[in-house]
Amino acid sequence: MTNNKNDITVIQNDLIPDVKLNLKSQEQFINDKGIVLEHWAAIPSTIGQKDRGDYRRPDSLDTISENGYIYKKIGEFSGVIVGNHKKNTFQEGGIFDNSTARLILPKFYVNSEKEILLLPGDRLYAKNIELKVANYQKMQFDPKRSDILQFPAKNIVFLRDSKNIEYFYKKDFTINENGNILWKKEGNNPGTDPETGKGRLYGIRYTYLAFWYVQQLLNEIRVTNTSDSSQPSRLPYHAVIQREYVYHNRNRGDSKESKDKNITNRTTEQPKENIDPNDDIYQVNVEVKNFE
């Protein structure tokens, strides 16, 4: 540089740092620091349908899908969950949990060269650890079948009916293989309300194993050059996952599947009245208070 302040010395440097991503190091970091998650992929259920627009299922009712999807385990991968937050909203019958987090995952399944492919609605379960969380809700006693909870129960904290009578696990009821309440014949139960002819209501607090749904794919397609080659390579997904938010729901079984007892309060019952539009001897309930 010269002493004259008006003179400018230009220094030329053509050596621009070559910045690239090391995909192997990223895979190693996630596999070392993440937890193993089981990936259950979802597909829309078409059981019993004849047309894509069918609301009803003429052939057979779908009694194995949950919330309109059929799930199958595809594989396992390590993932890092960051930015987890919790937000509960109290609703009639239980708690709406809107907890979300960001999932950092590798490109391949564990011990496999198969790429991980996610879609919104897929389920993720933590492996080798029981993530127990609590929930409570109102239920109605059903003497003919098990009482289906919002989520499959792992343990029962306590249960008390509308007459303030408490019932005890293994003495009055058990948990079946689907995580629902099964009342024992030799034990006590809430019974039927003589005024309504329906089972009495009871409140229950229980724990279940938490899982996540894939809510959103933030970066489904990410491409970059690798550190050892000029050829482009695809990067793994970045996804937003959400704690389970869909209520446990299955349809009523038909005569072909009479062994299936999975009936929920959300199952649509058959019409009780057969009305001929040309007849005027039937009364139609039009007041809201008369609806059942």
Question: Given this model, what pLDDT does residue 171 score?
Answer: 94
Question: Given this model, what pLDDT does residue 264 score?
Answer: 44
Distance CA 66, CA 250 (A): 6
- Mean pLDDT for 177-190 is 91
pLDDT, tens only, 225-247: 766 666 777 777 788 898 876 55
Structure tokens at 63: 């009694």
Distance CA 116, CA 23 (A): 15
Report residue 27's pLDDT band, with 50, 70 and 90 as the boundaries: confident
Report residue 181's pLDDT band, with 50, 70 and 90 as the boundaries: very high
Q: Greater confidence, 169 or 265? A: 169
- Mean pLDDT for 157-162 is 95
Please state the φ and ψ torsions of residue 102, each to the nearest 5 degrees. -105, 135
Report residue 263's pLDDT band, with 50, 70 and 90 as the boundaries: very low
Distance CA 45, CA 169 (A): 35
3-state percent helix, strand, coil for the chain, nearest multiple of 5: 5, 35, 60
Question: Given this model, what pLDDT does residue 178 score?
Answer: 82
Checking if the pLDDT of 216 tops 50, the result is yes
Report residue 261's pLDDT band, with 50, 70 and 90 as the boundaries: very low
Checking if the pLDDT of 140 tops 60, the result is yes
The residue type at 112: S
pLDDT, tens only, 73-83: 999 998 888 87
Checking if the pLDDT of 105 tops 70, the result is yes
Distance CA 179, CA 176 (A): 5
Question: Given this model, what pLDDT does residue 255 score?
Answer: 39
Distance CA 70, CA 41 (A): 8
Question: Given this model, what pLDDT does residue 153 score?
Answer: 92
- Mean pLDDT for 105-120 is 87
Report the predicted TM-score, pTM, of the whole model to 2 decimal places. Answer: 0.60
For tokens 């496999």, the residue is 112
Please state the φ and ψ torsions of residue 43, each to the nearest 5 degrees. -135, 150
Give the start-to-end residue ranges of the domains of the chain.
19-130+210-266, 132-209
- Mean pLDDT for 18-40 is 79
